[in-house]
Structure 1
Amino acid sequence: MSYPDTYYKQTLANAKVRRVLSEVIECETVIVGGGLAGLTTALQLARAGQSVVVLEAESVGFGASGRNGGFVSPGFATGSAEIARRAGDEAARQLHLLSIEGVDFVRETIEALKIDGARPQPGVMGVVRYDDGNSLKAHADDLKRAYGYELDYLDAEQVRSVLKSKRYFHGLRDRRAFHMHPLNYLRGLADELERLGGRIYEGSAATGSALGGAEKVVSTARGRVKGRQVVFTTGGYTGSLNGRLKRSFLPIATYVMVSEEAPELLCDAIATTDAVGDNRRAGDYYRLVDGGRRLLWGGRITTRAASPATLATELRREMVGTYPQLKDLKTELAWSGLMSYARHLMPQIGELQPGVWYCTAFGGHGLNTTAIGGKLVAEGILGQSDRYKLFKPFGLVWAGGYAGLAVAQLTYWKLQAQDWWRERAA
């Protein structure tokens, strides 16, 4: 029951160790998975007075929720046109508003619970690696007109004044978006959940379930939990406990590294506290951490996790290709994690059968979407709203198994080639 060796683990102070479930207990709702979706759902239910149990196979935040880039910004991995095609224009509008709500929800939670360790830093900048400022201006105008959401347009000179790279041209800065320490945020949620009487069991992987009756039972190696509702929030680490869920998404590996302390060297390349992401599919994303003393850099996806040494080499190649002045910057630590991606590239949120809920497939969507997903499931369980039904057009479609993984990898390589060609043709 330990955290993976990441930058976020190194910044933990006195990580709490929780009990393993070793008895038969009862509650109103049992949640399988102690990541962001699971803890958010649990906390919202506990705030409403429900008795809640969270079963976590490892430790709180062990999976993608606790080892990602830390970005909190609106939008989805799927393009708005595709969302509208599947769900309709009004539903697409409501879904985008939910993603904006998620940003505010996470920020307000940090403030309300005084999660100082989350260290929220305002500003996320999206940049393009080819000369097409008109498209960015049009996108910013569309968002302002449709949602009243303002983005600051940056021309090439403005972008390169803070990101000292010839790779970048224009950009959009989101002042409402922010970045943070995701693992400390999760620890804050867990602490508040327990303060309200919720129970979290670590090292307690769900190994079996009986979901057919009014009373649901989830079993672990040494205990059982009985409840009226069950929520599955296991993401890329879902095992064989629920076959339909496991078949509905692909576990995709993504990679992150953090540099040595080198504030002077980093100033020669990056002169902003904003988090940065480029416009390519699975492009680079990065941000300064430790008050500008280190660089956290992520990117690339594969259908099989690579070794830390291999992934560090790949990420360094991207970093130095963007910022040649960082060629002497040493990598201190690199890690990977599994995200869950559905074939339609949207979150999967809904009710599998009466009393059995799912909230997963958040790869590529940001922490705000995962958090608002958990909030919607809690609202559904409590009968407060049926907003979770907005995701009904994006259901549990079969992801293709091993063939799906192969197609996903080939698609990624194809998109990389298209990105390469577009940059050189611009």
Structure 2
Amino acid sequence: MSAYPNSFYAATRITAPERPPLRGRRTADVCVVGGGLAGLSTAWELVQRGRSVVLLEQQRVAWGASGRNGGFVLQGWSEGLGAIEKRCGTDAAKALFRLSLEGVDIVRETISRHALPGCAPTTGKLSVVRYDNADGLQRFRDRVAAEFGFEFDYLDTARVRDVLRTQRYFQALRDPHGFHFHPLNFCLGLAGLIEQAGGVIHEGTAMTGIRRSGATLQVDTPEGGVDCGAVVYCCGGYGGPEFGRLRRSFLPIATYVVLTERLGDRLHDVMRTTDAVGDDRRASDYYRVVDGDRLLWGGRITTRDEQDEARLSAMLTRDILDVFPQLEGIRIEQAWSGLMGYARHKMPHIRELEPGIWSCASFGGHGMNTAPIGGRVVAEALCGESDRVRLFSPYGLDWNGGPFGPPAAQTVYAGLKLMDYIQETRSARRA
């Protein structure tokens, strides 16, 4: 199995054992395929309900995007509220929004109840706009409060520029419910809880296929397999053709993150808040303070996973200086990327794919709250507790475009960037 990729999170992770690959055959009620946050959440929900679980991970627990993302745990989904309401109706949109809040609470309460080490949860996230939109932001705040029962705090331009020392931003909405944290340590802590409760995790173990033998599903691996009653695919952006129709229904999209040098007193010159920050652009900048006085800064999306650290550092340094030119000369100490699974409809695939085979995947870069609640509703369905999984039925396995999908997605992204530029330029001229 591969070592954890270079990142701030890998360098500051808690001690965790390497789990051996599966050799021979095991039996379980459920086999979970994928050891990112979705797979771990599903396994945790199942073992708490008394189900026996074997989890298979091709690399290491949270080796992919689950262990190297921005670390934001926030309400909502990758798809916007308006689009969800239009597709699903008002009542279903409200129910889905409540699920997203429950996902935030799952993570917070798990950290607190089990005293998971190294997670460092810090409350608050500012969603800033890069063009003057005071009326629009306040209307959105009021609508979400009235129709969805969620209260954002509104910050005017003067307040925003007091806490974020840049002329790039205008107004903001603050999420006082969400938080940011160390995602890899959370996942490693969750893996430990699963094992303490009797669950079994095998790293370095790829699923190679599934066969049916009467009511039993036989999950095959290179050196063995799992005989079980149900399987849950939690493959993320690294899933391959072995996932069949599910893999043909999402695109692996790359995003990029860097860690700056220690800023010392210079940090106060740019940020005067412990809140995480994300802007309103289609492929936003997002960042937060970590390790006392460093910026962990993410952004950009591409359909090609860029691995060159020097190139990534230069690319995101330009983004940092575009917002905070006073950091000219800043050094980047680490740079990394990760693949996210994006469906065309931008909502996760949470459903029964065929009898006994389920999916909990494709969280579109918004998985730190939605993967935990996805795991819960799948576990509820498997255990006959609820049918909340039906809320995701409008979001099916839309074809990802095959070989035409990545270039089409990149073209769409280029168009969205142009729209952002035009919108911001117009606002700057009026300012």
Give the TM bin, normalised by the shorter chain. Answer: over 0.9
Report how many residues are paired.
425
Distance across 2 between alignment mates of 1:168 and 1:57 = 42
> In 2, Cα distance between the equivalents of 1:338 and 1:202?
19
- After superposing the two structures, state which structure 1 stretch, 218-227 or 205-214, moved more: 205-214
Matches within 5 A, 1:89-108: 89-108=90-109
Using the alignment, how far apart are the partners of 1:211 and 1:97 within structure 2? 37
Q: Secondary structure at the match of 2:205?
A: coil
Q: Is the 8 A contact 1:66 1:186 kept in 2?
A: yes
1:408 is matched with which residue? 409
Q: 1:249-398 residue pairs with structure 2 within 5 A?
A: 249-291=250-292, 293-306=293-306, 307-398=308-399
What CA distance in whole angstroms lies between the structure 2 residues aligned with 1:296 and 1:81?
A: 30
What's the CA shift for 1:100? 1.2
* 1:213 to partner: Cα distance: 3.9
User: Which range is displaced more, 180-189 or 142-151?
Assistant: 142-151
Whole-angstrom distance in 1 between the partners of 2:334 and 2:19? 27
CA RMSD of aligned residues (A): 1.1
**Residues 17-416 of structure 1: pairs in structure 2 closer than 5 A:** 17-211=18-212, 213-291=214-292, 293-306=293-306, 307-416=308-417
Post-superposition shift, 1:212? 6.8
* 1:28 match: secondary structure: strand
Is the partner of 2:75 in helix, strand or coil? coil
Which residue type is aligned with residue 32 of structure 1? V
Runs of 4+ in 1 over 3 A off after TM superposition: none
In structure 2, what is the Cα distance between the partners aligned to 1:351 and 1:240?
A: 18
Identity of aligned residues (%): 50
Amino acid in the other structure paired with 2:305: A
Segment of structure 1 superposing worse, 324-333 or 306-315: 306-315
**Separation (CA, whole Å) in 2 of partners of 1:19 and 1:251:** 27
Contact 2:28 2:52 in 1 (8 A): yes
Aligned partners of 1:212 and 1:168: how far apart in 2? 59
| Distance in 2 (alpha carbons) for counterparts of 1:283 and 1:304 | 18
Q: What's the secondary structure of 2:206's corresponding residue? A: coil
Q: Structure 1 unaligned runs (5+)?
A: none
In structure 2, list runs of 5 or more residues that go unmatched.
Answer: none
The residue identity in structure 2 corresponding to 1:425 is R
**What's the offset of the Cα at 1:366?**
3.9
- What SS is found at the alignment partner of 2:300? strand
- 1:17, 1:339 → 2: CA distance? 24
Is the Cα–Cα contact under 8 Å of residues 308 and 336 in structure 1 kept in the other structure? no
Deviations 1:276-325 (A, max 9, x none): 0000011100000012x211000000000112222221111010010001
**Amino acid across the alignment from 2:403:** Y
- TM-score, normalised by the number of residues in structure 1: 0.98
Output the amino acid matched with 2:407: A
Write the letter of the residue equivalent to 2:152.
Answer: L
Preserved CA contact (<8 Å) 1:258 1:333: yes
How far, CA to CA, are the matches of 1:241 and 1:396 in structure 2?
16
Q: For the Cα contact (< 8 Å) 1:211–1:356, is it kept in 2?
A: no
Shift of 1:79: 2.2
Contact 2:127 2:279 in 1 (8 A): yes
SS in 1 for 2:17: coil
Counterpart AA for 1:199: V
Q: Give the superposition deviation at 1:211.
A: 4.2
One-letter amino acid of the structure 1 residue matched with residue 238 of structure 2: Y
SS in 2 for 1:14: coil
The residue matched to 2:242 in structure 1 has which SS?
A: coil
State the Cα deviation string for residues 306-354 of structure 1 (Å, max 9, x = none).
1222222111101001000111221000000100000111111000111
C-alpha distance in structure 2 between counterparts of 1:423 and 1:11, whole Å:
37
Structure 1 residues 242, 211: CA separation in 2 closer, same or farther (over 3 Å shift)? farther
3-state DSSP class of the match of 1:142? helix
| Larger mean Cα displacement after TM superposition, 129-138 or 211-220 | 211-220
The one-letter code matched in structure 2 to 1:297 is W
Q: Secondary structure at the match of 2:297?
A: strand
For 1:213 and 1:402, the matched residues in 2 are separated by 36
Q: Is the 8 A contact 2:14 2:185 kept in 1?
A: no
Cα distance in 1 between the residues matched to 2:347 and 2:131: 27
Deviation at 1:263, TM superposition (A): 2.3
